[in-house]
Amino acid sequence: MHTATRNWLGRLVTGLLLGLIAVSFAVWGVGDIFRGFGQSTVAKIGSTEIGVEQFRQNYNDRLQQLIRQVGRPIPPDQARALGLPRQMLGQMLAEAAVDENVRTLRLNLPNEVIADRIRNDPSFRGITGQFDRARFEAIIRQAGYTEGRYVAEQRKQLLRQQIVRALVSDLAPPAVTVDAQNRYLNELRSLDYIVLGPEQAGDIPEPTPEQLTKYFDERKTLFRAPEFRKADLIVLSPDEVTKTIEVSDADAKKVYDADPTRYTTPERREVQQIVFPNEDDARAAAQKLTQGTTFEQLASERGLKDGDFNLGLVSKSQILDPAIADAAFSLKSGQVSEPVKGRFGTALVRVGKVEAEVKRDMSEVMAEIKRDLANERARREVRTLFDKMEDERISGGSIADLAKKLNLPVRTIDAIDRAGRGPDGNPVADLPAGANLPSAIFASEPGVENDPIQLPNGAGYVWFEVLSVTPSRERPLDEVRDRVVERWRNDQVVEKLKEKAKEAVEKLKVSSISETAAAFNTKPQFIASLRRDRTQGNFPANALEAVFQTPKDSAGSSEGDEPTQWIVFRVTGVTVPPVAPGSPEARRLEGNLTNAYSEDLIAQYITSIQNDLGATINEAALNQVIGGTTN
């Protein structure tokens, strides 16, 4: 069933077509499919052509969405590397293919069905909760639609949905498949095991000069110095700007005096209430309280659980019913009110613990107010400085020159590689979080002006300039001797541990875990209820696959989370939790399988109609839009 998904177009479209069931065309900014018909085309399927301008609009809209999501520019070459152009073209061809099939089958829908869909769309409801034509017209106009075009697109979506539902609506996975899925996902295993490490490998003698030279010569690329780049950067963020802002005591006092209640924690009380349908029932219950019945017993008689009558520790404003609030905050701790007529009936109210109002004076909150004021001013200053920086960039000049003009700190990174490390192999410290600065630096060149990088969540901006490039080079043995010796030694340890693991497996087949551990100078360890998809404690995740491929009561081994660690184990128990038909877990498993089957069927359907209609792509026109080269 997976064969159909090998076609690249079908593979791209599988999830996208399913998304058409719930996602409006307006989200993608789809243009009129007839615009540009008969002109130069990017692709054609059946009688439908996808014009250059149509594809350009769709592609640019999608690219802008991604840029907003990641918070930084996406260069054209990176977009091509991510496959974005062909993903978009795949979606458009899939939509066109289904539309062609709809026309071939002569499917249609009454206008009233389309009207009902639009009237029932929550996006178009006004303050009354009903369809609001003015709101409808404003929203579709903002999305670039006329009413006629929007109605036509809704019709297409509904017709596509009908085809998809016809394909997948009656799918149900066989019970044996659900059982197999349950076994794979939920099987639990118990095991005894030992860990073999460098200690078990024994002494490793120093390599001879000849051994080390031969080892290095065979692996020179592993020790090659990466390309490094030198760059200047300016980080403009509220956190950095806040450090330069001073807030006076007078300004802080103005904020405090403007709203002292902001710095006051109101009185809070533990409040319980029992609501009765009428006043007579409430008075009868109050009488019972005077005769020894507890408040909890009254609640229990009415079938109330603790959460049904206990409001918790609340302030007066948190109680929705004003009458109940007034009663609760007029009682002393431990008192029960007379019957209170509230919004939802007549209630008895009891108060437990009382926490008095706490008002913090100016001296207690001075630092907090100053910090908030500084942060607020810093956010405004960042916006102002950003505009000034962009204005200055128009006149040219280096990052350092611009920083000097605007009195901004500039940081020079003398050397950074693609992984964000310096020449010492350690990460370059204090790079702005979320900027992916190494990738941006290596996507640029010396002398190139770069767009600023916007940091996530409004955290500021980064401007950078590549100053120079130090090419990658081969390092001589003397420069990396310590690293070569360390790697050689680790390789020797790995080879010895592989042999030790084989010996330990054979030992474990005929001995207990304690005897095996003692023979290899390590400690026995035990795990119960180990799952395939997660580890426990210090047990290495890399060994899970081997554990679940080993039969019960058999021994096995696996490399650990690093090459110098090996795990030798024996599976002592295998348990598969039963899944009752109709249970939540059974429904979850069935739903996952149904989704997988549905995706495969839709992929086959898309591939089939594409093959029947014949999809062609004009690579020259495609690259005209995305700025690539014709392959």
Q: Tell me, what's the pLDDT at 71?
A: 65
Q: Which of 96-110, 132-146, 350-364 has the lowest mean pLDDT?
A: 132-146
Q: Tell me, what's the pLDDT at 123?
A: 87
Residues 382-389, mean pLDDT to the nearest whole number = 86
Q: Tell me, what's the pLDDT at 582?
A: 84
Residue 28 has pLDDT above 80, yes or no: no
Q: Are 98 and 160 in contact (CB under 8 A)?
A: yes
Token pair in block for residue 619: 């690579």
Tokens 């009868």 found at: 284
With a CB cutoff of 8 Å and minimum separation 6, the contacts of 332 are: 351, 354
pLDDT band at 3 (very low <50, low <70, confident <90, very high): very low
Q: Tell me, what's the pLDDT at 484?
A: 95
Residue 323 has pLDDT above 60, yes or no: yes
pLDDT band at 627 (very low <50, low <70, confident <90, very high): low
Q: Tell me, what's the pLDDT at 15?
A: 39
Residue 345 has pLDDT above 60, yes or no: yes
Q: Are 343 and 298 in contact (CB under 8 A)?
A: no
Residue 116 has pLDDT above 60, yes or no: yes
pLDDT digit string (tens) for 472-484? 999 999 999 999 9
Residue 412 — φ and ψ, nearest 5°?
-105, 125
Q: Tell me, what's the pLDDT at 20?
A: 34
pLDDT digit string (tens) for 393-412? 888 888 899 888 888 889 99
pLDDT digit string (tens) for 408-448? 889 999 999 999 999 988 999 989 887 889 999 999 999 88
Q: How many CA atoms lie within 13 A of 543 on its CB side?
A: 30
Mean pLDDT of the chain: 85
pLDDT band at 25 (very low <50, low <70, confident <90, very high): very low
Q: How far apart, in whole angstroms, are the C-alpha atoms of residue 57 and residue 77?
A: 18
Instruction: For residue 447, give the 3-state DSSP assignment.
Output: coil
Higher pLDDT, 4 or 465: 465
Q: How far apart, in whole angstroms, are the C-alpha atoms of residue 591 and residue 318?
A: 41
Instruction: For residue 45, give the 3-state DSSP assignment.
Output: strand
Q: Tell me, what's the pLDDT at 167?
A: 85
pLDDT band at 59 (very low <50, low <70, confident <90, very high): confident
Q: Are 566 and 559 in contact (CB under 8 A)?
A: yes
Residue 191 has pLDDT above 70, yes or no: yes
Task: Report the candidate in 385, 45, 394, 421 with the shortest Cα–Cα distance to residue 229.
Answer: 421
pLDDT band at 11 (very low <50, low <70, confident <90, very high): very low
Burial (CB count <10 Å: 0-12, 13-18, 19+), residue 247: buried
